[in-house]
Structures are given as C-alpha cells and as structure tokens.
C-alpha cells in the first residue's frame, strides 16, 4: 500500500477550511501536514478544532517543510498564479481552486511554470465530480439524448457577498468568479469548444457591490464551434435559496441536473420559504468537493494525470474573459479575439 500523502492547505477562508477539514477527516490516503493562514485568529480557531503538525503564516515556509508532498491552494483568485508558480518551483504537486489566474497571459505563464517543473496539477472544477453531473455526462456520451443542441445552466447564490470578496481586482468579478464553473461544464458536457460569446450584466439588488465595480446578475449566450447554442445565468440574490441547475437538450431527448423535479409550476418566494430539501453549497456539493480531493490524491499515488487539467483551466478562463468583455461592451466577443489579446479598450473585437 502507498504511504499517505502529506498535504498543506494554503488559505483558511471558506474553501480552505473545507479542504483542510476534508483532508484531515475524510481522505484516508492523505494527512493534513500543514495549514497556512496570515490571520492569527483564524489559525487559532482552526487549531482549536483540528490537529495539524504545522500552522504557519507564510506559504514559503510551508513549501520548505520536510516531507511535504502536495499543496492545496484556496486563497483569493488574485494570489493563485504566484502561489502555483512557487509550489511548482518547490517541486510540489498542486491542487488549485478555480481559476488559476485573472488573465489569460498569467494563466499561460503559470502553466508554463508547472510544465517546466514537471509536477501534477489539478484545477478545482468540483462539479465534474458531482454524482448528478457525472450521470448526465454519461448519458450524453452514450448518445441517449442524441446530438447535443443547447446547453443551459443557472447558478444563483442566496445572498449578496461582501464587496471585498466580490471586488473584481481579487475575484475577477461575478462572471468569472461564479460563471467559470458553468463555462467548464459547457465544454465538458457538450463535448465541443465555444466560439463566440455575448453577455449582459447588471447591478440590480446588491447595491454595495457598486463600490467595487461589480454586478450581481448576468446572462451569457454561447455559440459553439459546431453550431450548438448555450445560455448561462449567474446571480447573487436568490432570496429563496441556493439554486444550481443545468440541462442539455439533444436531438433525441434532454438530460437535467438539479431542481428539475416536482410540480410543473412551483412558486417559491421570500415569504413562502424554500422548497423541501433546499440546500446551500456544502449540502449540494459537499460530496463533490470530497471526491475531487480523493481523485487528486489517487492520481498522485498511482502516478496518473488528474482528470481536470491546466488546459481545462485555460479553456474556461477564455470563455470567462470573453463573457466579461461582452458584458462590458455590449458586443459579441470571439474566443479567437481573446486569444489574440483583444481587450475592451482596444478598437475592435
């Protein structure tokens, strides 16, 4: 039997806390070797509940720990590229929350560092590990719905985030921060790449987000290279509860993931309360988060590449950037233009 892998989790915010606890209690093949968090109070609160050999303030100190095999990076998006590059330079296997970076150039540079170091990398697109999405993907791959024609996805958070969390300088903004999961699913489920994007975004409820220049609702339309169509809606003010749904319509049928069961017409309001079984992030995707870490550890032990690669990260951020630019300009943006370096302040798409 392979020896357990020793893993450090960098960042103890919401996701880092989840990852650290999952590694410590639910991944038999791994050991939580260290946590890294600059806030001393957050570190102390974690240590009061979870035993870990090393609790550090500085990521560099963690990367130099003897016996460390891998790192999980769960810090703000704006820090991912530098931390992935540092971990690669230290020869550590890397699991990084989505996205790898805020720009396409930085994403490519980060992946170059990973490739040069020759270390494994997995990106945190956890919906690919959700049982419902995996069943839907299997149905599509088996041809049960025929040729995929349209992809539709809804992602709605139940409350407005703190402006500091939503700040596009750190998160990439609503479309990138929330929509990137859907952009990854759009490629993975349909089996084709996206060619062109149009988008509209607005600040409708979460007025405090105006202070950082973010929006709270967006609708993104996709056209695939093979002619299929897609539509993605993301929002931060679903007062009735956490709402994540996806469907793929094919020439011979349709497959749905999420809240598609129940009456043909279901009214759910702030006053009526959420439907029975309504959930939030970890109720809905807790098992998927565990499964992707289990997959990461298994890949390292078996010396096989993770299923979610750097190439998947590039493809998702290309769509995210095209959608962000389309929302900013009100014009269609092709992924070819994004790859060529076009930005909204340039003269043409």
Domain extent listing, the chain: 5-119, 128-286+315-339
Q: Considering only CA atoms, give the Rg of the chain.
A: 20
Tokens 């980060």, residue?
110
Kindly state the average pLDDT of the residues 328-342: 96
pLDDT 10s digits, 189-242: 999 999 999 999 999 999 999 999 999 999 999 999 999 999 999 999 888 888
Q: What percent of the chain has pLDDT over 90?
A: 86
pLDDT 10s digits, 39-59: 999 999 999 999 999 999 999
H runs (alpha helix) in the chain: 14-26, 40-47, 59-63, 80-89, 104-117, 131-141, 163-166, 168-171, 174-190, 281-302, 310-329, 335-339
pLDDT of residue 218: 98
Kindly state the average pLDDT of the residues 160-182: 95
| Token pair of 138 as six digits | 């299997």
| Token pair of 114 as six digits | 């990973």
Fold adopted by 5-119: Rossmann fold (3.40.50)
Q: Tell me the pTM.
A: 0.90
Please report the sign of the dihedral spanned by the C-alpha atoms of residue 294, residue 295, residue 296, residue 297. positive
C-alpha torsion 61→63→66→68, nearest 10: 140
Kindly state the average pLDDT of the residues 134-160: 94
pLDDT band at 258 (very low <50, low <70, confident <90, very high): confident
Q: Do the two domains 5-119 and 128-286+315-339 of this chain adopt the same fold?
A: no
Residue 302's Cβ-count burial label (10 Å; 0-12, 13-18, 19+) is exposed
Classify domain 128-286+315-339 at the CATH superfamily level. Answer: Dihydrodipicolinate Reductase; domain 2 (3.30.360.10)
Closest CA to 26 of 346, 289, 311, 344: 289
Q: What percent of the chain has pLDDT over 70?
A: 92
C-alpha torsion 7→12→18→20, nearest 10: 20
Phi first, then psi: give them for residue 127, nearest 5 degrees. -65, -25
pLDDT of residue 261: 42
Task: Indicate the average pLDDT of the chain.
Answer: 92
pLDDT 10s digits, 235-255: 998 888 888 999 999 999 999
pLDDT of residue 340: 96
Task: Give yes or no for residue 127 having a pLDDT over 90.
Answer: yes
pLDDT of residue 273: 54
Residue 114's Cβ-count burial label (10 Å; 0-12, 13-18, 19+) is buried
pLDDT 10s digits, 265-313: 333 445 555 555 445 667 788 899 999 999 999 999 999 999 999 999 9
122/295 Cα distance (integer angstroms): 9
Helix, strand, coil fractions of the chain, as percent rounded to 5:
40, 20, 35
Q: Using N-to-C axis directions, what is the helix angle for 131-141 and 281-302, rounded to 10°?
A: 70
346/349 Cα distance (integer angstroms): 8
Please report the sign of the dihedral spanned by the C-alpha atoms of residue 256, residue 261, residue 264, residue 265. negative
Region label for 149, one of left (φ > 0), alpha (ψ between -120 and 50) or beta (otherwise): alpha
pLDDT of residue 70: 98
Closest CA to 230 of 217, 255, 248: 248
| Token pair of 12 as six digits | 């103890």
pLDDT of residue 279: 56
Kindly state the average pLDDT of the residues 25-32: 96
pLDDT of residue 268: 43
pLDDT band at 134 (very low <50, low <70, confident <90, very high): very high
pLDDT of residue 263: 33
pLDDT of residue 35: 98
Kindly state the average pLDDT of the residues 146-169: 94
Element (H, E) at 291: helix 281-302
pLDDT of residue 346: 59
Phi first, then psi: give them for residue 150, nearest 5 degrees. -135, 145
Kindly state the average pLDDT of the residues 169-187: 96
């Amino acid at each position: 039997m392979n020896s357990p892998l020793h893993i450090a989790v960098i960042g103890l915010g919401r996701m880092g806390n989840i990852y650290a606890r999952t590694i410590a209690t639910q991944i038999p093949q791994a050991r939580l070797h260290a946590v890294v968090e600059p806030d001393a109070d957050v570190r102390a609160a974690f240590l009061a509940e979870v035993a870990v050999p090393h609790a550090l303030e500085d990521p560099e100190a963690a990367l130099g720990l003897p016996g460390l095999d891998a790192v999980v990076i769960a810090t703000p998006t704006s820090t991912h590229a530098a931390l992935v590059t540092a971990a690669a330079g230290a020869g550590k296997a890397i699991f990084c929350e989505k996205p790898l970076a805020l720009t396409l150039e930085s994403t490519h540079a980060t992946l170059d560092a990973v490739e040069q170091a020759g270390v494994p990398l997995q990106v945190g697109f956890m919906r690919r590990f959700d049982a419902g999405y995996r069943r839907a993907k299997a149905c599509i791959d088996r041809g049960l719905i025929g040729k995929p024609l349209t992809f539709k996805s809804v992602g709605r958070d139940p409350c407005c985030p703190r402006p500091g969390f939503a700040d596009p300088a750190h998160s990439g903004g609503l479309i990138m921060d929330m929509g990137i999961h859907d952009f990854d699913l759009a490629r993975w489920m349909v089996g084709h790449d996206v060619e062109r994007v149009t988008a509209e975004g607005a600040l409708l409820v979460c007025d405090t987000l105006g202070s950082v220049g973010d929006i709270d609702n967006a609708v993104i339309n996709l056209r695939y290279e093979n002619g299929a169509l897609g539509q993605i809606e993301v929002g931060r003010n679903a007062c009735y509860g956490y709402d994540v749904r996806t469907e793929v319509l094919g020439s011979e049928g349709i497959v749905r993931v999420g809240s598609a069961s129940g009456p043909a017409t279901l009214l759910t309001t702030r006053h009526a309360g959420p439907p029975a079984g309504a959930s939030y992030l970890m109720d809905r995707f807790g098992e998927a988060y565990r499964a992707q870490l289990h997959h990461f550890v298994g890949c390292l032990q078996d010396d096989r590449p993770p299923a979610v690669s750097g190439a998947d990260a590039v493809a998702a951020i290309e769509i995210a950037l095209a959608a962000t630019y389309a929302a900013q300009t009100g014009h269609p943006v092709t992924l070819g233009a994004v790859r060529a370096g076009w930005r909204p302040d340039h003269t043409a798409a």
